[in-house]
Amino acid sequence: MCGILGHISLKKNSRFSNALDSIAHRGPDAEGIYELVTENGFNIQLGHRRLSIIDTTSVSNQPFLSRDNLYVLVYNGEIYNFKSIRDDLIELGDDFETTGDTEVLFKFLIRYGAESIDRLKGMFAFAFYDVSKNKLTIGRDHLGIKPLYYYFKDSTLLFSSELKGLFALNPDLRKIDSDQFAEYFLNGF
């Protein structure tokens, strides 16, 4: 199943490790956290809880980093056609250290970008950070089979595989907005 968690803001979130623990049931096999303060002062925190299925070795643990530390991926899901995509990437000169779909998605995103995810068949949610471009891309499969909840306000972006992760990052999100509550009863959504 796996679980991903992210916090991007001008302030580091001291609750991040506990928030990652709040989704520990999604991945008991490994956990990892990536943290970086960008040149423009943003704190990036990406976390992953792993349930090992395809490649059970530790080289597939996440966050998945390139050797030069310029790219980072946290990912939850399964890419059904990862073997054919892997073959295509090998033909283009990419080499692989793992046998799983995480590294395939990682190298696919480096080579083609998120604009090409329509080539991926499967169920997935991911966050991919390009350090050199200071660009974070979060995405999910077209049907939303793998959930990805997010919150954005005042230069803060939070995302998680579960609402529980968002609530652990920002407990104020649990409060009911009475305006939205009334909107729900008025319009049904």
**Angstrom distance (rounded) from CA 121 to CA 42:** 33
Q: Which residue has the tokens 């090409």?
A: 116
Query: Is 59 a residue of the active site?
Result: no
**Angstrom distance (rounded) from CA 43 to CA 31:** 20
Q: Which of 2, 23, 104, 125 is catalytic?
A: 2
Residues 6+ apart with CB under 8 A from 98: 55, 57, 59, 60
Cβ atoms within 10 Å, residue 185: 7
**Angstrom distance (rounded) from CA 10 to CA 108:** 30
27 token code pair: 């991945």
**Angstrom distance (rounded) from CA 124 to CA 144:** 8
Catalytic residue ranges: 2
